[in-house]
Amino acid sequence: MVKSGATTGRVAMVLDNRDFNIWSPLAAIRCAESKVQPRFLFFYLQSKEFQTGVELSWSFGTQQNIGMGVIGNLKAPLPSIPEQQAIADFLDERTGKLDGLLGKKRELIRKLKEKRSALISRTVTKGLPPEAAAKAGLTPNPKLKPSGIPWLGDVPEHWEIKKLSYLTRMQSGDTITSLEFSDDGNYPVFGGNGHRGYYSEFTHDGDFVLIGRQGALCGNINYASGRFWASEHAIVVRPIFALASFWFGELLRVMNLNQYSVSAAQPGVSVEAIKALKVPFPTYTEQNAIADFLKKETAKLDRMTQKVETAIEKLTEYRTALITAAVTGKIDVRVS
């Protein structure tokens, strides 16, 4: 059982009798098998009843954790060994079916997200699909030319290739500490990883693409609109020419700017290194057409993903409720 960190209380089961090693965030729970059938206890540790006991016993410091003495004093119901085995057999069968279904839904989410990423990557680097291009009044299936950029390959012949320094000015935001902003206020605060809170003043007004400047997620992309405060951990991109924000932001995301980070006390991306990169540059009209197309198509995929995630959440809740009912005697599995 995990006894510290974000997954405190999560359990797994070792299925053989060989010796094994564990590291400090884990607790090994060995069953006295004359009293406790291991599979029964494994399911009980997943029940809402037990997990609630774990949550109520957390000590809060830099992260949640539960001590070994507390774990040892948490109680479990003990029906007879035959009934424990019957409950475990029942739950093995029912949760096995649920886990199979959950696995398929998680795989579907993976494929939807993969499709979304591929759609964005293909469209911002190659242009609109033929039907969408014709609908937007653009040339379908334009001729291609070498971009001269290894990761990019060929691009539509009428697109230009420009350095980011030609298209934008980039500058870090202003210093603000976590003590200064709050959960509500006049203007949102954006850091390197997105929205952080609110503040009474603002540094920028308009539509901007933000690039994370420091930390493990440096190079990530966020959007800010209206009045907001950009912290020193965010790079604010100011267009020199007219740029469609969503097209440009997704192009930068496809470029995986994190790969240009420099290791120091913590990873960070260099504004100068990013500005030197070359990118494809379609007309402003085509940028907007690409942005409109991607917003519409990704919204469809996001709605599908949300439906599947909701189904996973409900199935997971049902799985926990089923386990809890069985291990606490609410279901008589002897006649099931």
Residue type, 218: C
pLDDT band at 80 (very low <50, low <70, confident <90, very high): very high
pLDDT at 289 > cutoff 50: yes
Query: Which residues of the chain does CATH 1.10.287 include?
Result: 80-142+282-336
Query: Which residues of the chain does CATH 3.90.220.20 include?
Result: 160-281
- Confidence at residue 282, expressed as pLDDT on a 0 to 100 scale: 96
Q: String of b and e for 280-319 (b: at least 16 CB within 10 Å)?
A: bbbeeebbbbbbbbbeebbeebeeebeebeeebeeeeeeb
pLDDT at 265 > cutoff 70: no
Tokens of 208: 């901007």
Report the mean per-residue pLDDT for the chain. Answer: 91
Per-residue pLDDT reduced to its tens digit, 164-207? 999 999 999 999 988 888 888 899 999 988 999 999 999 999 99
Q: String of b and e for 108-118 (b: at least 16 CB within 10 Å)?
A: ebeebeeebee
What mean pLDDT do residues 260-283 have?
85
pLDDT at 309 > cutoff 90: yes
Per-residue pLDDT reduced to its tens digit, 30-55? 888 889 999 999 999 999 999 988 88
Q: Does domain 80-142+282-336 have CATH number 1.10.287?
A: yes
Tokens of 123: 């469209």
Q: How far apart are CA 116 and CA 300, in angstroms?
A: 10
pLDDT band at 264 (very low <50, low <70, confident <90, very high): low
When computed from its CA atoms, the radius of gyration of the chain, rounded to whole angstroms, is 27
Q: How far apart are CA 96 and CA 70, in angstroms?
A: 31
- Confidence at residue 336, expressed as pLDDT on a 0 to 100 scale: 46
Per-residue pLDDT reduced to its tens digit, 95-117? 999 999 999 999 999 999 999 99
pLDDT at 22 > cutoff 80: no
CATH class for the region spanning 160-281: alpha beta
- Among 77-81, 214-218, 288-292, where is mean pLDDT lowest? 214-218
- Confidence at residue 259, expressed as pLDDT on a 0 to 100 scale: 87
What mean pLDDT do residues 76-102 have?
95
